[in-house]
Amino acid sequence: MAAEGPNQEHANGPATSGGEPAGPAPRQRGHALIAEVVRQLDGSPGVYRMLDERGVVLYVGKARNLRRRVAAYAKPHGHSARIARMIAQTADVKVLTTESETEALLLEQNLIKELKPRYNVLLRDDKSFPNILVAKSHRFPQIKKHRGRRTEEGTYYGPFASAGAVNNTLNQLQRIFLLRDCSDATFESRTRPCLLYQIKRCSAPCVGLVDEESYARLVADAERFLQGKTTRIQERLAREMEEASAKLEFEKAAALRDRIRALTQVQATQGINPRSTAEADVIAVHAEGGQACVQVFFIRGHQNWGNRDYYPATGAGAEEGEILQAFIAQFYDQREPPRLVLLNRPVEDPELLSGLLTARAGRRVDIAVPVRGEKAALVASAERNAKEALHRKMAESASQARLLEGLAKAFELEAPPRRIEVYDNSHIQGAHAVGAMIVAGPEGFEKSEYRKFNIKSEGLTPGDDFGMMREVLCRRFRRLAKDAKAEGAARRPDLLLIDGGAGQVAAVVETLAELGVNDVPVIGVAKGVDRDAGKEVFHRPGRPPFALGRNDPVLYFVQRLRDEAHRFAIGAHRKKRAKAMGATPLDEIPGVGAARKRALLQHFGSAKAVSRAGIEDLKAVEGISEAMAERIHAFFHARG
């Protein structure tokens, strides 16, 4: 059917005699169905979706010319095994026309991210990367790690591949440039130098041991370092050391000598840094056995700021070029691309992809597949790392599969579980109670599936673990039942592990029965004799408890699952407790958000001092208007 305009969606099938579009004939599937659909399409750009007989989206694709692209699927031969399987399952096709191919590419990636079709390449890790922020809202800038939106005033350097890479660089910067990393509130409250000054990691601007102009020079040098201009810094420090020595200022000369040594040591460990490539992301893919690994190296300021490996879902075995194309489009969905992206394989449409990244960055972004020189060496290194990482991942997956098979045999399950949910609670005498759920499966721990549950039931007796577990399970399985179509069988557990004995297991089984869940095995893991690791006793409904051999790999596996749930629960509890401890009456005042609360506490020192302040004193705080000062004063006055 001809498109009526941009972003017009159509469910395609053979037309009726009256000319109205109708759904596909009940028996039509695969090539025959697609051939009928093609007759109704024109040459507009857009996005197409292949659906199975249940309406589940199998594949999302974009096209410069929808008629020509979809027609390729109507041919009975010439497809990869993956695409042939997808075509055979196709029972409906829907199209959405767009104004341009670039718009189609954007829409395609949005739909892939939302629908997660089985036969598309899916990037499963969309976490943000950390950066280094030189915060410049204070006269003595602070240097610190930053993750998330860039809303704070200052200069950002990154991305770094991991928090560890950021921490390592921050340590180097402190040793060489002596910049502060304390918060503004800590800075203002100090009366004597902290430990970092004593160990020569800070110049102590908080107590006036360095003036503003000298500190500004240190900040400028640190930024040159982050830009890769280390040689100039070292030359200037050497001159200053010689001048200090000539003036018999030996203490200053020794301090400069230590900074030069630290800088030299950093340079000695940066032999892998490229000289001719100032800014680039190096992306390499290696696919094998239906799995793929993509390695991303971050080059900024002629420095290698680390690498990260990704294991995208390959849509049941996509080719490497297709994996790269899909990965890049999804990877830079929420990230700013560099000026240059280096690849180890050509992609289908580099000009279109470059145009998409250019539009997102607001400047030119080039995509290249180097064949010689330093850039080719960088790509070769990334490709080698991708291959080695994939082999390690495949070995781990095989080991994980053996453990799941052993688990099924030990606990007499019908099949190895693909989704194990482990539950635990954490609290201190009932205070700040948190329930936690972790998930594990064939790929190991699935941290994106972890969930925490703030215990909300007010009628619970403090420390009632049974009641807490009941609330957690009710919330979890009611949500699963409510959104069954979206979450589907893949989100339903094959096994529940509970930290506890027969009593906990009985309570869990009773709760699940009330929820209509009778087909999920439940295992309780009790500490056993003397609560020693290795003496765990396992409880199953209606069966006697049993233990596994002390050296059984399945026992170690269950211990890791239980310990991970315990770690996650304790972490969630500590965060909740810390948040509660940091709460003040200011949180209850309408209109006083985080920024105003911070300004008030920095100005007065405590919430109690704020409560005693007059309206004129409150108005003197930055960001507090007369009306807000009156509101704050009235709040505390009414409370008094």
The CA distance from 321 to 452, in Å, is 39
More confident: 485 or 295: 295
pLDDT value at position 611? 85
Q: Which residues contact 200 (CB under 8 A, 6 or more apart)?
A: 175, 178, 255, 258
Query: What pLDDT, on a 0 to 100 scale, did the predictor assign at position 378?
Result: 92
Give the other-Cβ count within 10 Å of 231's Cβ.
11
* pLDDT greater than 70 at residue 22: no
User: In terms of pLDDT, which residue wins out, 124 or 359?
Assistant: 359
Amino acid letter, residue 53? E
Consecutive H or E run containing 109:
helix 101-115
> Does 473 lie in the same domain as 569?
yes
Strand-pairing partners, residue 423, are: 437, 498
The token duo for 246 is 């000539």
* Distance, CA of 527 to CA of 513 (rounded, Å): 26
Q: What residues contact 377, with CB distance under 8 A and at least 6 apart?
A: none
- Please tell me whether residue 90 adopts helix, strand or coil conformation: coil
Indicate whether 147 and 34 sit together in one domain: no
Out of 268, 294, 328, a domain closes at 268
Cα distances (Å, whole numbers) of residue 344 to 179, 358, 415: 39, 20, 40
21 vs 304, residue with greater confidence: 304
pLDDT of residue 188: 85
Assigned domain for 27 exists = yes
Judge whether 410 lies within some domain. no
CATH number at residue 446: 3.30.420.340
- Lowest-pLDDT choice from 246-250, 347-351, 488-492: 488-492
CATH code: domain of residue 590: 1.10.150.20
- Model pLDDT for residues 385-438, shown as the tens digit of each residue: 999 999 988 888 888 999 999 999 999 999 999 999 999 888 765 567 888 999
pLDDT, mean over the chain: 84
- 353 and 230 share one domain: no
Residue 520: count of CB within 10 angstroms of its CB: 16
Sign of the dihedral through C-alpha 84, 86, 91, 94? negative
Residue 273 within a domain: no
Q: CATH no. for residue 341?
A: 3.30.420
Cβ–Cβ under 8 Å, residues 422 and 564: yes
Residue 233 has pLDDT above 90, yes or no: no
3-class DSSP assignment, residue 20: coil
Asked if the structure places residue 404 within a domain, the reply is: no
Residue where the block lists tokens 């920095």: 602
Indicate the pLDDT class of residue 48, thresholds 50, 70 and 90: very high
Pairing outcome for strands 431-441 and 451-454: antiparallel
pLDDT value of residue 213 = 92
Checking 406-414 for CB contacts under 8 A at 24+ apart, the result is: 406/552, 406/553, 406/554, 406/557, 407/495, 407/554, 407/557, 407/558, 410/548, 410/552, 410/554, 411/495, 411/521, 411/523, 411/538, 411/540, 413/494, 413/495, 413/521
Q: Are residues 483 and 498 in the same domain?
A: yes
Phi, psi dihedrals of residue 472, rounded to the nearest 5°: -60, -45
Instruction: Please name the residue ranges forming H helices in 528-552.
Output: none
Dihedral (CA of 113, 117, 121, 125) sign: positive
* CA–CA gap between residue 416 and residue 145 (Å, rounded): 42
Are residues 206 and 181 located together in one domain of the fold? Answer: yes
201-225 pLDDT, tens digit each: 899 999 999 999 999 988 988 888 8
Domain stop point among 115, 147, 174: 115
Q: Is the predicted pLDDT of residue 29 greater than 90, yes or no?
A: no
Same-domain pairing of 426 and 572: yes
The pLDDT value given to residue 592: 85
Residue 402 domain flag: no
Looking at the structure, do residues 76 and 194 belong to the same domain, yes or no? Answer: no
Find the helix packing angle between 101-115 and 350-361, rounded to 10°: 80
529 CB-contact burial (10 Å; exposed 0-12 / middle 13-18 / buried 19+): exposed
* pLDDT > 90 fraction of the chain, expressed in percent and rounded: 34
> Band of the pLDDT at 459, cuts 50, 70, 90?
low
pLDDT score of 15: 36
Residues 592 and 567 reside in one and the same domain:
no
What is the domain range of residue 616? 585-639
pLDDT in tens, 538-547: 999 988 988 8
Indicate whether 542 belongs to any domain.
Answer: yes
- Residue 431, classed as helix, strand or coil, is strand
- pLDDT at 265 (0 to 100): 59
Question: Of 134-143, 169-178, 371-380, 383-392, where does mean pLDDT reach its minimum?
Answer: 169-178
Collapse the DSSP code of 48 into the 3-class scheme (helix H, G, I; strand E, B; otherwise coil) and give the result: strand
Distance CA 597, CA 466 (A): 39
Using left for φ > 0, alpha for ψ between -120 and 50, and beta otherwise, residue 262 falls in alpha
Average pLDDT estimate for 491-502: 89
**Who contacts 326 (Cβ-Cβ below 8 Å, separation ≥6)?**
112, 120, 121, 122, 123, 312, 318
pLDDT given for residue 431 in this prediction? 67
- In this structure, the answer to whether residues 427 and 522 fall within a common structural domain is yes
Per DSSP, the chain holds a count of helices (H) and strands (E) of 21, 19
Could you tell me if residue 471 is inside a domain? yes
- CA distance from start to end of the chain: 73
Q: What pLDDT shows up at residue 486?
A: 46
398 falls within a domain? no
Q: Is the pLDDT of residue 24 over 50?
A: no
Same domain as 607, residue 571 = no
Average pLDDT estimate for 59-74: 93
- Statement: residue 21 has pLDDT above 80: no
User: Alpha-carbon distance 11 to 43, whole Å?
Assistant: 17
Are 589 and 635 in contact, with CB atoms under 8 Å apart?
Answer: yes
| Per-residue CA distances from 547 to 22, 311, 539 (Å) | 61, 36, 9
Pick the range with the lowest mean pLDDT from 226-230, 321-325, 370-374, 437-441: 226-230
Task: Give me the amino acid identity at 596.
Answer: R
Read off the pLDDT of each residue in 592-597 and give the average, rounded to a whole number.
82
150 shares its domain with 202? yes
Q: Residues 187, 206: contact at Cβ < 8 Å?
A: yes
261 vs 268 pLDDT, higher one: 261
Write the single-letter amino acid at 544.
P
Question: In angstroms, what CA-CA distances link 121 with 127, 223, 634?
Answer: 17, 39, 58
Residue 305 φ/ψ, nearest 5 degrees: -100, 30
Distance, CA of 285 to CA of 597 (rounded, Å): 48
CA 380 to chain centre: 27
The confidence band for 13, taking pLDDT boundaries of 50, 70 and 90, is very low
Residue range 248-258: mean pLDDT, rounded: 78
Residues 298 and 239 in one domain: no
What residues does 101 pair with on adjacent strands? Answer: none
The count of structural domains within the chain is 5
Domain final residue, candidates 88, 115, 142 = 115
Report the run of H or E that residue 220 belongs to, with start and end: helix 212-226
Distances (CA, A) of 186 to 134, 142, 189, 191, 599: 17, 11, 5, 10, 13
Task: Give the mean pLDDT of 3-10.
Answer: 47
pTM value is: 0.69
Helix/strand/coil for 294 = strand
Per-residue model confidence (pLDDT) at position 351: 92
- pLDDT tens for each residue of 130-153: 888 999 989 999 999 998 888 889
Query: 482: buried, middle or exposed (CB in 10 Å: 19+, 13-18, 0-12)?
Result: exposed
Q: Write out the two tokens for 233.
A: 């810094």
What letter does residue 25 receive in the DSSP assignment?
P
Give residue 66's pLDDT band: very low, low, confident or very high (50, 70, 90).
very high
